[in-house]
Chains A and B, each alone.
Chain A
Amino acid sequence: MRLPTFVIPVLVTLALLAGYGLRTSFTRPTTVQTFAKGTGATATFVVDGVRCKGTAMFFSSLYEDIPGILGIETFATERTAVFSYDPKVITRDRIQAIMETPIPFEDGTTSRVFKCMSVR
């Protein structure tokens, strides 16, 4: 059966849109850290610097000993971190401040590794 040539770009566009639409079916966090049991508020931060599993684990480790943080899920490709926290103990602004605090290195220098792009 003969077909018009515009079928190809139409199918390519549909495939790309379908691929984009299907992504939610496969969503899995890059890392999941649970520090304390319980339910609290959640906040989603878009964080520049969370790029892969390694950086996501390093990012989560910043909150290991912070009171009020119940858990963190990171999504590297979306550069997002979803915090579960106790709003009576810690605020969103404090969570953001911690991630943006310059990190001291062994050679005596410091560097800001993560930057919050937006909060949802």
Chain B
Amino acid sequence: MSKTKSRYLRHSMLTIVLGLVLYLALGFGSRSFEAYCPFGGVESLWGLFTTGEFSCALGPLNLSFLLALLVLTLLCKKAFCGWACPIGFLGELSARLGGWVWKKRPRIPAGANSSLKLLRYAVLVVALFFTCRTGELVLRGYDPFFLIFSGFGHGSVGIVSVMVLSGIIIGMWIVPMFFCRYLCPMGAVFDPFSRIALLRVARDTSKCTGCGRCSRACLHDIPVQNLQTVRHRDCTNCLDCLDACPEKDALQLRAEL
């Protein structure tokens, strides 16, 4: 696969996924678009263990997707986020749109970036706490996936939902992958699996010229040019760094234990 083809292929896959979710969201399919959310699988676990029933609008597809994606994450990091998540795709499109608007995008200092990433663990804990407590998806009204594809449907909380979604969209224009980096609870679930994943981008230091194009291409601000292998938990194996690298085989996809 040539360099340009990997991004075309990725965007084609994401467009198909986005189309399928929209198809379900518009009511054409026989199931709810929420069935595609693997975080629903996490939220349904408590209900399944305690009462043997799925919570609220969750179902078997949420759980089976969750299990399949955890295995996928063990194999190739957060590839779901980069290759098949509709919100990740919208975040990427927003980031690229923001890239045209900003001549020089403001960068979040590394320390603040790391600290802000703790927010997604807080979102995870809050989401699980309220779901376990009430058996309802009470955070639906603040979930961009639900708000966008349901068109602020049942469960949204009026002006608050509008403000939250607007904040997330503005955030994604300013900071690439703002929601994925700081707020996505599914990302928090994937984190430990992603750290030990088998497939990673590796840098051949003898061929790398240190031009830094790989780091600049990374929407998650991973300093690829300084790493021997990309073990970073946020890497989605989107392969944009490989696309950006001007040196032949300086960056490679490798399987390493």
Contact = CB atoms under 8 A, between A and B. Distances in A.
Interface of A: 1-9, 11-13, 15-16, 18-30, 46, 48, 51-54, 75-80, 117-118
11 contacts: A3-B199, A8-B76, A15-B68, A15-B71, A19-B67, A20-B65, A23-B64, A28-B53, A53-B135, A77-B35, A77-B58
A11 B57 CA distance: 28
Interface centre among B6, B30, B135, B242 (most CB of A within 10 A): B30
Interface of B: 1, 6, 9-10, 13, 27, 30-32, 34-35, 38, 48, 52-69, 71-72, 75-76, 79-80, 83-84, 135, 154, 199, 237, 239, 242, 252-256
Given A51-B32, A77-B34, A77-B59, A22 B68 contact: yes
B72 A12 contact: yes
A46 B30 contact: yes
B152 to A, nearest CB: 15
Task: Give the 3 A-B residue pairs with the shortest CB-CB distance, closest first.
Answer: A77-B59, A19-B68, A22-B64
A52 B116 CA distance: 34
A53 B56 contact: yes
Contacts of A51: 32, 57, 154
B27 A77 contact: no
B61 A8 contact: no
